[in-house]
A and B are shown apart, each in its own frame.
Chain A
Amino acid sequence: MVNVDKLKEIARETISRDDVKYLIGWRQGTYGFRAAPYFMSTPEEAEELIFSPLCTNNLATYLTLAEKLPVPRGQEPDSRKVALLVKGCDSRAVVQQLVEQGISRERVLVIGCPCRGVIDQKKVEAKFPDVREAVSAVWDGDTVVFNLPGGSVAVPRQEVLAGKCLTCRYPNPVIADVTVWEEVAVWGSDDYVDVRELEAGSPQQRWGFWEEKFASCMRCYSCRNVCPMCYCEDCVLDRLNPQWIMRSVNTAENTAFHLARAFHLAGRCIECGECERVCPVDIPLMKLNRKLTKEVRDKYAYEPGVDPEAKPLQASYRPDDKEDFIL
């Protein structure tokens, strides 16, 4: 069972350690059904921590998003650890970052929070429009209980959980230095129904589907920036010399942007769904990423972000690897 008091206690102990720089968790957001990433560095701040169905953000992205400024002369670099709260899906990002050596194990302290699924804000806001106050939520059996201003309301999980949570196979962290409460039973299975549906269409239908979506992209790069696997310091999409993607925002360049990103995530995407969640124009990016995930799984029996000892897909070769994609 989720025990937020225990979480706070562990957070207080962790942040009190000399070798921990800060701890990243969640706190209640400023309005509605939001949680916000929360960077804390003193034990007192632990009081604000939450863990609830509102905790959508994958905080693993902050491990690689942290800015590395040059160390002033005469000073030692700060080599303390970053403590991070992770859900099951988030933990896969940590594993994949380790596998790719994007982060080093001794610099991160993973606090695992077995999770029963987080909400899709849009679904909840559609159910409870015009809620202005910050609303907390808890899991209760097969429901999520929202503590609305007028009283608590229980809603079946099926109706409010994010799509990725309904098919979740990794509700328990796959890596953790400490797990805060007991693991939860796996409820989901994933046979890529969404991808199959799209695959069933004709090339024209599929192109029509994506063309409309990509045409609406504003290239705000929130999908890239929120992605825990998009951590190149010098992103190919930002380059001007040579310039692979023009800055003009139009269907052609937007398509090139999204396809380039999808390909760079092949065998790396851990399906946290953050790109799709943050998109201000609701491009269903996970359909694209999951198409490649499915290909990788079917062709190479590879799943990223589950085994810290694994090699990255692109860095591993087996003589029996399929080559039928080569024309």
Chain B
Amino acid sequence: MDMKKVRKEKFADFLATLAEQKLYAPQKVGESLRFAPVTDSGKVELEMSNTTVPPKSVFFPQTETLYRYEVGNTEIQQPAMGGVDIVLGVRPCDARAQVIVDSLFGWDYNDPYYQERRKATVVGLACNKPCVNCFCLSLGGGPASTVGLDLLMTDLGDAYLLQPLTEKGEKLLALAGETVETAAAGDREAAESLHGQAEQMITRKVETAGVAEKLPGLWEHSLWQETANSCLGCGICTFLCPTCHCFDIQDEVEGLEGRRCRMWDSCMFKEYTLHASGHNPRPTRRERTRNRINHKYSYFVQKFGHTACVGCGRCINYCPVNIDLVEILRQVKEAL
């Protein structure tokens, strides 16, 4: 497939060729960066290390109405599904994460809300400057990994190299018309060199092989209590994790208008497993911390064949008390 490039001065025109479609890209929301519908291409922010909130929020919004009803009536109205055509500016780690989450939303029962949105074209943005806590290399990823992407963009400084990876990616480039040009041989080499340099910048590493097998034997290990001691039990690590997918379902009624909706939930919250009887099978942060790590590095592996972590580093970057997944994994590896 032919590589193209779009010069930065033409990037707004390039985005304009996609104006007919529902396009999501990183933008500033409040003080944070996250994926939002593009209404003004000038607000698209690609000079970032990564978004605060991963693009899972596009495919699996934090709050979403499953259906509506009128109180006292049993008629159920499904909302329109889909509504996402292109997600642009996705870092390779987050694209890989979405593929991991696909296995959850597609096993046995299909989740139509999620799967309709997953039909969107995913345009990746290779990392030229990985952040301090990136450890994607330890999980089989990399700054220019193409898993889960239809098109990969690489920032060449004055232009973005556009590398189509699938038919959907090709189609998107076909729309771009005159706003893109054929990439020169040197552009490809420049991109490869940038990818190589980025890999060199990733210094945090952890040996993940064998962790899944080892975790069951560490059930009573002191590391869970030690980690839980300082844990606040907040939802940062799970909400910002691109592979975390747990949700709550609640009925919300305003006047006569009711909706059953789902919203992100966190295994770090006490209420997550609390029975109506008052019994809680995971009564303290120790059990919740242990479940979080086991879920990512053992249970998910047993169930779906891959680790539910891509090494994006968000849980480390944003943890208010410096609970560090790389450090926990190191302790797991070293534990006797």
Interface residues of A (CB under 8 A from B): 29-32, 34-39, 57, 61-62, 65, 67, 69, 130-132, 212-213, 215-222, 224-226, 238, 240, 246-250, 274, 277-278, 280-283
Question: What CA separation (Å) do A130 and B63 show in the bound complex?
Answer: 34
Q: Judging by beta carbons under 8 Å apart, are B320 and A277 in contact? A: yes
With beta carbons under 8 angstroms apart, the residue of A62, A67, A212, A248 that contacts B284 is A67
Main secondary structure of the interface of A (DSSP, over half): loop
A-B contact pairs, 13 of them (CB 8 A): A31-B204, A216-B32, A218-B62, A221-B234, A222-B235, A225-B233, A240-B250, A246-B252, A247-B263, A278-B234, A278-B320, A281-B53, A282-B30
Q: Quick check: is B161 within 8 A (CB to CB) of the other chain?
A: no
Q: Quick check: is B213 within 8 A (CB to CB) of the other chain?
A: no
Q: Judging by beta carbons under 8 Å apart, are B320 and A132 in contact? A: no
Interface residues of B (CB under 8 A from A): 29-32, 34, 52-53, 62-63, 129, 132-133, 201, 203-204, 226, 229-230, 232-236, 239-240, 248, 250, 252, 261, 263-264, 266, 269-271, 283-285, 316, 318, 320-324, 326-327
Question: What CA separation (Å) do A32 and B107 show in the bound complex?
Answer: 40
B318 / chain A contacts, CB cutoff of 8 Å: 280
Task: Give the nearest-CB partner of A224 in chain B.
Answer: B234
Question: What CA separation (Å) do A69 and B287 show in the bound complex?
Answer: 13
Taking A37-B321, A218-B53 as contacts, is the C-beta distance between A69 and B284 under 8 angstroms?
A: yes
Q: Judging by beta carbons under 8 Å apart, are A215 and B232 in contact? A: no
A31 / chain B contacts, CB cutoff of 8 Å: 132-133, 204, 316, 324
Question: What CA separation (Å) do A130 and B203 show in the bound complex?
Answer: 11
A218 / chain B contacts, CB cutoff of 8 Å: 53, 62, 235, 239, 264
Question: What CA separation (Å) do A283 and B322 show in the bound complex?
Answer: 20
With beta carbons under 8 angstroms apart, the residue of A38, A215, A219 that contacts B30 is A215
A225 / chain B contacts, CB cutoff of 8 Å: 232-234
Q: Judging by beta carbons under 8 Å apart, are A30 and B326 in contact? A: yes
Task: Give the nearest-CB partner of A32 in chain B.
Answer: B132
Task: Give the nearest-CB partner of A37 in chain B.
Answer: B230
B327 / chain A contacts, CB cutoff of 8 Å: 30
B63 / chain A contacts, CB cutoff of 8 Å: 247-250
With beta carbons under 8 angstroms apart, the residue of A36, A213, A224 that contacts B322 is A36
Question: What CA separation (Å) do A42 and B70 show in the bound complex?
Answer: 61
Question: What CA separation (Å) do A238 and B274 show in the bound complex?
Answer: 12
Question: What CA separation (Å) do A306 and B232 show in the bound complex?
Answer: 25
> Smallest CB–CB gap between A137 and chain B, Å?
15
Question: What CA separation (Å) do A19 and B271 show in the bound complex?
Answer: 34
Question: What CA separation (Å) do A225 and B232 show in the bound complex?
Answer: 6
Question: What CA separation (Å) do A46 and B190 show in the bound complex?
Answer: 51
Taking A218-B53, A280-B52 as contacts, is the C-beta distance between A130 and B235 under 8 angstroms?
A: no
B204 / chain A contacts, CB cutoff of 8 Å: 31, 132
Q: Judging by beta carbons under 8 Å apart, are B235 and A220 in contact? A: yes
A216 / chain B contacts, CB cutoff of 8 Å: 29-32, 34
B316 / chain A contacts, CB cutoff of 8 Å: 30-31
A283 / chain B contacts, CB cutoff of 8 Å: 30-31
Q: Judging by beta carbons under 8 Å apart, are B230 and A131 in contact? A: no
Task: Give the nearest-CB partner of B240 in chain A.
Answer: A280
- Considering residues B263, B318, B322, B323, which has the most beta carbons from chain A within 10 angstroms of its beta carbon? B322
